[in-house]
Amino acid sequence: MDRELIRKEVLGFKPYSPGLSIEEIKKKYGLTRVIKMASNENPLGTSPVVKEVIARNAALAFRYPAAGNPDLRAAIGEYLNVPARNIVCGNGSDEIIDLIIRVVARPGEDNIVAFKPCFSIYELQSRFAGVEFRQVPLNNDFSFPWDDLVLAIDEKTKVVFITNPDNPSGFCAQKDELKEVLARLPQSVLVVIDEAYIDFALPQDEYSLLSDWQDHPNLIILRTFSKMFGLAGLRLGFAVLPDVYADYLQRVKLPFSVNILAEKAGIAALKDRFFYDQTLKTVCAGREFLSSELKKLGCKVFPSRANFLMFAPPKDAFEVFEGLLKKGIIIRPLKSYGLKEYLRVSIGTEEENKAFIDELREILNG
């Protein structure tokens, strides 16, 4: 095997391990019902309006999309009250994360800073780019240690990633706090606030930096259609960013990474206020229900402003995860985040939440 050709940064990569599919789990455990509450997907599925738009545009699949997604960027710009030129769309926000790193950080020289634990894509794409990835441990209550973050930054730091609300804890910092931190960081550092879950943090203006984006020449805000808008499988995310970064990201981005159906679906999803409101209601009610029921079962539950809850069960977390799996409920163990005593459950429908609590009760009391 000619591994000499493989870059040394790449040799350590492991293939993404997706776990068993719903069909495989049904077969393995002889189940008819499987409920997935593992990936923070929208509990209501895909909006009916968006499904209709996708179906109606299916015949366009043979066409290339418009390079640079002008219609979608205009629609997002209007939705957020941001000029379209300051929006860049990607194949999920994952693509934007990768682009930001590669546009500003020099391999073998610069570094990137994030908290520990954090969203795995920040680290994976930094490593792939050959850039040092530094992590600052979160406080014990999973709040953000700002002083430690400021100390970790040096003249070679190019990007800081902050997830707000955070994944997997659900912790959310206030906007005013973020503004203070931005003021403490040198403007030579790009601060990326990943707001994948911001729609679930109410009132949004207390937490989102979006309304202040123009005040900071080094601020990038990331958003996604994967959670609130229910389009995880179509792959669509975007960034709000200053002119110069928008310009260069557009220059290097693969021109057709956002496909034509994702573009149509994204535009339709932004207009579907009914689905948005229904999702928000379902998630807020479910979050309260699950949080109080988990506490009744003796779990330590962390306050969350996202569409999931992190908790520590009173029994071995991995055994609880496996017990639930056998009963057809998939949640997320957090071993890969270095949090082996914790689990993360995505908020489901009322019925799914009840089924999860019933099965968990059996496992914990059995």
Ligand X SMILES: *Cc1c(COP(=O)(O)O)cnc(C)c1O
Which residues of this protein are in contact with ligand X, per CB under 6 A?
A: 40, 92-94, 119, 163, 167, 194, 196, 224, 226-227, 232, 237
CA distance 116 to 138: 6
Find out whether 240 and 211 touch, Cβ atoms under 8 Å.
no
Q: How far is the CB of 237 from ligand X (least distance, A)?
A: 3
Give the nearer residue to ligand X in terms of CB position, either 92 or 348: 92
Shortest distance, position 100 Cβ to ligand X, whole Å: 13
DSSP 8-state assignment for residue 74: H
| 40 or 291: CB nearest ligand X | 40
Nearest approach, Cβ of 256 to ligand X (angstroms)?
17
Nearest distance from C-beta of residue 366 to ligand X, angstroms: 32
Nearer to ligand X, 283 or 355 (CB): 283
C-beta closer to ligand X: residue 226 or 250? 226
Name the minimum Å distance from CB 75 to ligand X.
Answer: 17
Alpha helices, H only, 226-343? 243-252, 260-271, 273-296, 317-326
The pair of structure tokens assigned to 38 is 């593992």
Q: How far is the CB of 123 from ligand X (least distance, A)?
A: 12
Instruction: For the CB of residue 45, give the shortest distance to ligand X in the complex, in Å.
Output: 16
Taking the least distance from each CB to ligand X, the nearer of 237 and 313 is: 237
Q: Using the minimum distance from each CB to ligand X, give the nearer residue, 100 or 196.
A: 196
In the complex with ligand X, the residue whose CB is nearer, 117 or 328, is 117
Task: Give the C-alpha separation, 42 to 50, whole Å.
Answer: 13
Give the CA diameter of the chain: 59
Name the residue nearer to ligand X (CB basis): 236 or 312. Answer: 236
**How many angstroms separate the CA atoms of 239 and 186, rounded?**
21
Q: Give the integer Cα–Cα distance in Å for 194 and 223.
A: 7
The whole-angstrom distance between residue 248's C-alpha and the CA centroid of its chain comes to: 23
CB 232, min distance to ligand X, A: 6
Give the torsion sign (CA, 107, 112, 118, 122): negative
DSSP-assigned letter for residue 225? S
Q: Smallest Cα–Cα separation from 238: which of 154, 191, 38, 249?
A: 249
Distance CA 237, CA 235 (A): 7
Instruction: Determine contact, residues 71/203, Cβ cutoff 8 Å.
Output: no
Alpha helices in the chain (DSSP H): 8-11, 22-29, 48-56, 70-80, 93-104, 120-128, 146-152, 175-184, 243-252, 260-271, 273-296, 317-326, 350-365
Residue whose Cβ sits closest to ligand X: 92
